[in-house]
Every structure is written in C-alpha cells, then in structure tokens.
Amino acid sequence: MFTQLQTPLPVHVIGKGAGLAFAVIDYGAEHNLIWVTALDEGGEIWCAPNPNVRVAENWSLGRSRDSIAGADSLAAPEGDTP
C-alpha cells in the first residue's frame, strides 16, 4: 500500500541526511515500512527502510539535534539497507 502523507514529515535518514518524507510504502507484516523522502541537500529522493529513519528535531517536544545526530550509530546492519 502506498500512502501519500497529507503533510510532509521532516525526518533524518541515517547515512543520507535531513529531508521531508512525503509518502510511506507498506509491503505488509513481514517488511519494514519504507519512507519516501526528498533530501534537503541535493534534492535526491530515497526510499528508506523504517530502521534508518528518525523524526527531525523538535525543540518544543524536547527532541534535540544531538539525539538525532547520534542516531547514525544506531543504523540497521549493512545487509538491511537497500
């Protein structure tokens, strides 16, 4: 199932950088969600698996840039990245 997000969601794709997720692909129970994301730097569009996507920083919710930047060390193993 392909779902276009009515409001794009600012995210950080581990290993790629910041961007706006504008759709989600759900292949079912045996697969990760896939976030269709337009990256801020360079404008590339990537389909990133759920373990490699983090929501963007949000001061009012207490989500800091440091916690997101440190997420690169939490990336899924190499074999899990398309």
Q: What pLDDT score was predicted for residue 37?
A: 98
Select the more confidently predicted residue: 78 or 42. 42
What CATH code would you report for 2-70?
Answer: 2.30.30
Q: What pLDDT score was predicted for residue 18?
A: 92
Going through 14-82 in order, the beta strands assigned E by DSSP cover 17-25, 34-39, 45-49, 53-55
Q: For residue 16, give the nearest of 57, 42, 58, 24 by alpha carbon.
A: 42
In this predicted model, what pLDDT tens digit does every residue of 34-75 receive, in sequence order? 999 999 999 999 999 999 999 887 777 766 666 655 555 555
In this predicted model, what pLDDT tens digit does every residue of 5-28 receive, in sequence order? 999 999 999 999 999 999 999 999
Q: What pLDDT score was predicted for residue 30?
A: 92
Q: What pLDDT score was predicted for residue 82?
A: 47
Select the more confidently predicted residue: 78 or 34. 34
Q: For residue 15, give the nearest of 71, 65, 80, 79 by alpha carbon.
A: 71
